[in-house]
Structure formats: C-alpha cells, structure tokens
Structure 1
Amino acid sequence: MTYASDRLHEEIAYVAYHFHWGQDEILDLEHHDRRRYAEHIARLVARGSGG
C-alpha cells in the first residue's frame, strides 16, 4: 500500500510551515511520526485560534 502523493506533500508543507523544518528532515520521519507531528500542530493551531 502506498501513501497518496498529494497527502504526503500536504503533510510536508504543513510541518515545514509551522516548525520551519526542511523537506529532507520531514521525509526522514517515519509515516506515523510525521502524522503525529501534523496532528499536534493542528491542535496547537486550534488552541491558538480559540478552537
């Protein structure tokens, strides 16, 4: 099973934007770890916007 290319690029852009990490650093993460960072960022963003 492969991970959708569009979804992968979305996660990379999201983590890079919020954590200021480079593409290589993000791609070095395991899929599960990258998803956890993206979910954590989403919680931080929601909390920061009062949601």
Structure 2
Amino acid sequence: MEDFNQLMKVRFEKLNRLRELEINPYPYEYEQTHKSKEIKENFEQLEKQAVS
C-alpha cells in the first residue's frame, strides 16, 4: 500500500507542475464533421446507411 501512496503522490506532483506551467493536463480536441441541424434534416436517409 505504501508503494501505491508514493505513486499517487508523484502523480499529483506531476499534475500540479503541469498546472503551474499553465498546461492543460487533460487536453481535448475534436474535429466537427457534422452539425445537428444537418443530421436532423437528413435523419431518414442517414438511418438507412450502414455504420462501420
């Protein structure tokens, strides 16, 4: 259990260091390919398409 506690301590230290450097430790990014309006307008056609 001591090893686990030490591991968590190190991880929190690293996390805090990233935050001090103003680096988002949990970055996210996604590319928008469709808008909900388009999906709603084309729902019937889209529903018939196979999804991989």
Structure-2-length-normalised TM-score:
0.38
**Could you say which structure has the greater relative contact order, defined with CA pairs below 8 angstroms and 6 or more residues apart?**
1
Q: 1 or 2, which has the higher helix percentage?
A: 1
Structure-1-length-normalised TM-score:
0.39
